[in-house]
C-alpha cells in the first residue's frame, strides 16, 4: 500500500512493498519558445510587494500532452511511481505545472477535469504499451536504434503513437498537436521529425498494415514476438509461459494491459459500514459493485476523483485496498484482545485493516525498516482512529530478532516481492524488474521468514504472503522454510477464504484473470506446541 496525497490529504492505495523514490526536476537543452509570452506567477499569500519570477505561458500547447510528457520523463528518468503520479488529481495542479515549467521551459493553461482523465489514460497506457510502441517507432524511424533518441522527443512520439493506435483519437489532430509540442519544447527540426513519423503511422493504421511481429519459430522467437505484441519484458513472457502455458500467459498479459479497477474498504473502526459507503456512492452517482468475498469492500471502475473531492478519504471513512489484501487479513483472522506482529508493515494497509478488527482491544506491532513510511502509517492510523491499537517499531526484522524478540500468537510477514501479481495497477513495475532481481528477492524472503518465525509463540500462527504469482516466491519459499523449520506445519486456509482461492496444498492464491483481483499468495503456518 502506498500513500498518495490528494489536495494535501494522505490517502492509501495498494501497490506492493517497494521503496518510493521521489523524482527531482531536470532540464532539457535545445529549446526554443518563440510562441511564449511572460506572465507573473501567483503567490500563496497574495502579497503585492513580494517579487515574483516571470514565467512563460504557451497557450497553444495542449496541457494534457505537455503534462503527460513530463510525467513520463519523471517516471522513466526520475524514478517516480506511475500510480502515485496518475492519482494525484487537481490538488497538485500548481505543482504539476511547476514541473512542466522547469522541464519544458514554459507553462500551459491549467488542467481541467477532462485533461486530468486524459493524462491518467495516456500516462498509464503509454507505460503499459511501451515495448509495443517502441517497436512501431523504431520501425518507422530512419535510425532504428531509438535508445539514443532524446528522452523528451521519444516521450512525445510514444504519446502520439499511443493516441493514434490505442485511443483512436482523430489522427491529424494528434499529429498537429504533438508536432507543436515538439517544436515548442525542443526545436523546429524535432517537430518536423515528429510530423513525418506520425504521418507514416496514420497511413499504416488506415491500411491496417502496422509492422508487427508474427508468433512463430522456436520458443525464444515466439517469446520475443509475444513480448512485443503484449508489451511485457521477454523474461516475464518466458517465465509465465513456463509456469502457466502460452495461452494463460497471454490472458495474463491482456489483463495487465486493461485499465484497472479498484476496491474501496469501509473503515469499520470509525463506525462506517459498507452500507454507509454504498449510500455515499449512490449519492455521488459513482457506479459500484459489492465485493463477493468481503463484507467491508466495494469495487469501482470509475469515479475515484469524485470520491476524493467528496472528502471520504480525507475523513478516514474509507481507503483504497485490493480485496486480495483483505483476504490475506482474513487468513490472519485478527480477533479483539490479540497481539499481532506485522513484520514488514509500512505503509500499512493490512496493518490498519487488522487493527480495525480488534475493536479497540489488543495491539498490532507494525515493524518496518523505513522510518518515513512508518510515519505515514502512524498518521493514517490516527486518521482511521486505530492508533490506540497500533504501535510502530522502526527496525530491520532480521536484526530485531537478535535480542529477546517480542513473542506473539500471530505474526504476518507480507514480504517484499517482485510484485508480478499487481502489474495491472503498477504498469511501470514490469520495466523496472529484472530476472536477476528474483534471486535476490528469494534470498531476502528466506531471511525474513527465518526471522519472523522467531517471533511466534508455540502454538502460534505465522502467515507468509506476497503480491506475486510466481511459484518460486510463494510455494517454493514455504517448502524451503518447512525444510529448515520442522517445528512448523501448514494450516489449510479453507476455513478463512472461499474455496475458489484455496490451492491443493492448502495455501491461498488469487489469480488476476480468474478472480479479477490483484495476484497474491498466503500460507498459514502453525508452530508446534
Confidence band of 7 (pLDDT split at 50, 70, 90): very low
State yes or no: pLDDT of 472 exceeds 90. Answer: yes
**Quick one: pLDDT at residue 175?**
98
CA atoms within 13 A on the CB side of 200: 15
Q: How far, in Å, CA of 466 to CA of 421, rounded?
A: 9
Share of the chain above pLDDT 90, in %: 77
Q: How far, in Å, CA of 148 to CA of 163, rounded?
A: 23
Residue range 279-289: mean pLDDT, rounded: 98
Q: How far, in Å, CA of 107 to CA of 37, rounded?
A: 10
**Quick one: pLDDT at residue 19?**
35
Locus of grid cell 517465465: 239
The residues facing 527 across adjacent strands are 488
Residue pair 452/489 in contact (Cβ under 8 Å)? The answer is no
**Quick one: pLDDT at residue 405?**
64
**Quick one: pLDDT at residue 82?**
61
Could you report the per-residue pLDDT of 84-95, keeping only the tens digit for each? 454 444 334 457
State yes or no: pLDDT of 15 exceeds 90. Answer: no
Lowest-pLDDT choice from 99-108, 321-330, 347-356: 99-108
CB atoms inside a 10 Å sphere around CB 427: 27
Higher-confidence residue of 37 and 95: namely 95
Could you report the per-residue pLDDT of 358-400, keeping only the tens digit for each? 999 999 999 999 999 999 999 999 999 999 999 999 999 999 8
**β 37-40/54-57 pair status:** antiparallel
State yes or no: pLDDT of 38 exceeds 90. Answer: no
State yes or no: pLDDT of 14 exceeds 80. Answer: no
Q: How far, in Å, CA of 149 to CA of 94, rounded?
A: 30
State yes or no: pLDDT of 453 exceeds 50. Answer: yes
| Max CA pair span of the chain | 78
Task: Give which of 215, 456, 235 is closest to 332, Cα–Cα.
Answer: 456
Task: Give which of 402, 423, 478 is closest to 445, Cα–Cα.
Answer: 478
Cell of 408: 506473539
Four-residue CA torsion sign, 393, 398, 404, 407:
positive
Helix (H) or strand (E) holding 153: helix 151-165
Confidence band of 17 (pLDDT split at 50, 70, 90): low
Lowest-pLDDT choice from 72-81, 307-316, 487-496: 72-81
Q: How far, in Å, CA of 279 to CA of 272, rounded?
A: 11
Q: How far, in Å, CA of 328 to CA of 338, rounded?
A: 17
Residue pair 42/51 in contact (Cβ under 8 Å)? The answer is no
Mean pLDDT, rounded, of the chain:
88
Q: How far, in Å, CA of 315 to CA of 300, rounded?
A: 19
State yes or no: pLDDT of 45 exceeds 60. Answer: no
Lowest-pLDDT choice from 85-89, 122-126, 351-355, 409-413: 85-89
Q: How far, in Å, CA of 125 to CA of 128, rounded?
A: 5
Catalytic status, residue 467: yes
Burial 252-265 (b: 16+ CB within 10 A, else e): bbebbbeebbbbbb
Q: How far, in Å, CA of 231 to CA of 253, rounded?
A: 8
Of residues 318, 343, 417, 467, which has the active-site annotation? 467
State yes or no: pLDDT of 8 exceeds 90. Answer: no
State yes or no: pLDDT of 4 exceeds 70. Answer: no
State yes or no: pLDDT of 26 exceeds 70. Answer: no
**Quick one: pLDDT at residue 25?**
32
Residue range 93-111: mean pLDDT, rounded: 85
Could you report the per-residue pLDDT of 115-167, keeping only the tens digit for each? 888 998 999 999 999 999 999 999 999 877 898 999 999 999 999 999 999 99
Which pTM value belongs to this model?
0.87
Confidence band of 403 (pLDDT split at 50, 70, 90): low
Confidence band of 254 (pLDDT split at 50, 70, 90): very high
Query: What is the number of helices (H) and of strands (E) in the chain?
Result: 21, 16
State yes or no: pLDDT of 10 exceeds 60. Answer: no
Confidence band of 326 (pLDDT split at 50, 70, 90): very high
CB atoms inside a 10 Å sphere around CB 208: 6
Residue pair 283/276 in contact (Cβ under 8 Å)? The answer is no
**Quick one: pLDDT at residue 144?**
76
Higher-confidence residue of 511 and 405: namely 511
Annotated binding site for S-adenosyl-L-methionine: 344-350, 368, 396, 414
Residue range 202-211: mean pLDDT, rounded: 97
Contacts by residues 18-22 (CB-CB < 8 Å, ≥ 24 positions apart): 18/416, 18/419, 18/429, 19/370, 20/81, 20/84, 20/373, 21/79, 21/80, 22/79, 22/80
109-to-20, 59, 62, 170, 175 alpha-carbon distances in Å: 29, 6, 8, 22, 20
State yes or no: pLDDT of 305 exceeds 50. Answer: yes
Residue range 226-242: mean pLDDT, rounded: 98
State yes or no: pLDDT of 281 exceeds 90. Answer: yes
Confidence band of 46 (pLDDT split at 50, 70, 90): very low
Could you report the per-residue pLDDT of 177-206, keeping only the tens digit for each? 999 999 999 999 999 999 999 999 999 999
**Quick one: pLDDT at residue 51?**
41
**Quick one: pLDDT at residue 97?**
86
Residue pair 387/363 in contact (Cβ under 8 Å)? The answer is no
Omega cis (within 30) before 504: no
Amino acid at each position: 500500500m502506498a500513500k498518495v496525497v490528494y489536495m494535501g490529504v494522505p490517502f492509501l492505495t495498494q501497490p506492493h512493498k517497494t521503496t518510493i523514490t521521489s523524482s527531482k526536476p531536470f532540464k532539457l537543452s535545445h529549446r526554443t519558445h518563440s510562441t511564449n509570452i511572460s506572465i507573473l506567477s501567483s503567490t500563496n499569500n497574495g502579497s503585492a510587494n513580494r517579487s515574483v519570477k516571470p514565467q512563460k505561458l504557451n497557450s497553444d500547447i495542449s496541457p494534457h500532452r505537455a503534462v503527460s510528457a513530463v510525467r513520463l520523463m519523471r517516471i522513466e528518468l526520475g524514478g517516480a511511481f506511475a500510480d502515485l503520479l496518475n492519482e494525484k488529481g487537481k490538488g497538485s495542479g500548481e505543482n504539476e505545472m511547476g514541473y512542466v515549467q522547469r522541464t519544458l521551459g514554459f507553462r500551459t493553461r491549467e488542467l481541467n477535469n477532462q485533461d486530468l482523465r486524459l493524462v491518467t489514460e495516456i500516462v498509464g497506457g503509454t507505460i503499459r504499451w511501451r515495448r509495443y510502441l517502441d517497436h512501431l517507432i523504431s520501425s518507422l524511424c530512419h535510425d532504428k536504434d531509438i535508445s539514443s533518441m532524446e528522452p523528451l522527443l521519444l516521450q512525445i512520439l510514444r504519446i502520439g503513437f499511443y493516441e493514434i493506435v490505442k485511443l483512436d483519437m482523430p489522427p491529424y489532430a494528434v499529429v498537429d498537436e504533438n508536432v507543436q509540442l515538439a517544436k515548442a519544447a525542443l526545436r523546429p527540426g524535432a517537430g518536423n521529425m515528429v510530423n513525418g513519423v506520425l504521418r507514416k503511422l496514420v497511413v499504416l493504421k488506415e491500411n491496417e498494415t502496422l509492422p508487427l511481429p508474427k508468433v512463430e519459430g522456436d520458443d525464444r522467437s515466439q517469446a520475443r514476438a509475444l513480448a512485443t505484441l503484449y508489451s511485457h519484458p521477454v523474461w516475464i513472457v518466458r517465465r509465465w509461459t513456463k509456469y502457466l502455458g502460452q495461452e494463460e500467459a497471454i490472458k495474463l498479459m491482456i489483463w495487465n494491459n486493461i485499465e484497472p479497477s479498484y476496491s474501496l474498504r469501509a473503515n469499520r473502526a470509525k463506525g462506517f459500514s459498507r452500507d454507509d459507503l454504498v449510500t455515499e456512492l449512490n449519492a455521488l452517482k459513482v457506479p459500484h459493485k459489492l465485493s463477493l468475498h468481503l463484507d467491508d469492500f466495494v469495487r469501482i471502475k470509475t469515479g475515484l476523483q469524485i470520491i476524493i473531492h467528496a472528502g471520504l478519504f480525507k475523513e478516514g471513512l474509507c481507503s483504497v485496498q485490493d480485496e486480495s489484501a483483505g483476504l490475506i487479513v482474513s487468513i490472519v483472522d485478527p480477533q479483539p484482545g490479540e497481539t499481532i506482529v506485522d513484520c514488514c508493515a509500512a505503509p500499512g494497509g493490512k496493518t490498519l485493516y487488522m487493527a480495525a478488527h480488534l475493536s479497540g482491544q489488543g495491539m498490532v506491532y507494525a515493524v518496518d525498516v523505513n522510518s518515513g513510511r512508518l510515519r505515514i502509517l502512524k498518521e493514517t492510523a490516527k486518521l482511521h482512529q486505530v492508533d490506540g491499537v497500533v504501535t510502530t517499531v522502526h527496525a530491520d526484522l532480521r536484526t530485531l530478532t537478535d535480542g529477546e524478540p517480542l513473542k506473539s500468537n500471530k505474526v504476518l510477514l507480507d514480504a517484499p516481492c517482485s510484485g508480478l501479481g499487481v502489474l495491472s495497477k503498477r504498469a511501470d513495475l514490469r520495466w523496472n524488474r529484472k530476472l536477476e532481481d528474483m534471486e535476490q528477492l528469494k534470498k531476502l524472503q528466506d531471511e525474513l521468514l527465518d526471522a519472523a518465525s522467531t517471533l511466534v509463540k508455540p502454538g502460534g500462527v505465522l502467515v507468509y504472503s506476497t503480491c506475486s504469482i510466481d511459484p518460486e516466491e510463494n510455494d517454493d519459499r514455504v517448502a524451503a522454510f518447512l525444510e529448515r523449520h520442522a517445528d512448523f506445519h501448514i494450516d489449510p486456509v479453507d476455513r478463512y477464504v472461499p474455496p475458489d482461492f484455496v490451492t491443493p496444498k492448502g495455501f491461498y492464491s488469487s489469480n488476476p484473470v480468474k478472480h479479477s483481483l490483484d495476484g497474491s499468495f498466503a500460507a498459514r503456518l502453525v508452530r508446534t506446541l
